[in-house]
Amino acid sequence: MGARWKRGVFLGLVLAVVGLAVSARPAAAGVHDVDTPALEFLLAGGGVFLLDVRTPGEYARGHIEGAVLIPMNRVPSRLGEIPRDGKVVVVCATGARSAAVARYLDDQGYPWVANYVDGVVGWYRKGLPLAR
């Protein structure tokens, strides 16, 4: 057998081992971005923890039905109130604060976290109801 064939076999084995190693690693959870239609779909299916990270005053003026208020600055001390065994969608007014909290939850090992990019402002502008 020639050197070329041996090199080809060796390269093939290396690629196979690397491929197995990569596929055996768990995928990074990452943060999903969801818009209003996606959030409506998720909420209709149930099993979603909707985390509102705005201030108590903002929440009182109107929030998405079923949202649980934990202000952004209180999230680290209240992680025990946020379930790890399901989908968590984080919402704020416009998607900025919720993006930061969603990244934080992902860093804390939550397996499925999403940022609602339209925020409560977008929800309201689309004519959807707010609870008070």
Helix (H, G, I), strand (E, B) or coil at 107: helix
Q: Which residues of 92-119 are buried (b: 16+ CB within 10 A; e: fewer)?
A: bbebebbbebbebbbeeebebbbbbbbb
Bridge pairing between strands 31-34 and 48-52: unpaired
With a CB cutoff of 8 Å and minimum separation 6, the contacts of 106 are 29, 30, 31, 113
- The closest of 26, 65, 73 to 46, measured between CA atoms, is 65
Catalytic residue, from 31, 67, 92, 117: name it: 92
What is the rounded CA–CA span in Å between residue 50 and residue 60? 16
What pLDDT, in 10s, does the model give residues 58-75? 999 999 999 999 999 999
Q: Is 92 a catalytic residue?
A: yes
What pLDDT, in 10s, does the model give residues 7-27? 444 434 333 433 333 333 333
Predicted TM-score (pTM) above 0.85: no
pLDDT of 28 higher than 70: no
Q: Which domains does the chain have, with CATH numbers?
A: 31-125 (3.40.250.10)
Residues in the chain: 132
3-state secondary structure 52-93: ECCCHHHHHHCECCCCEECCHHHCHHHHHHCCCCCEEEEECC
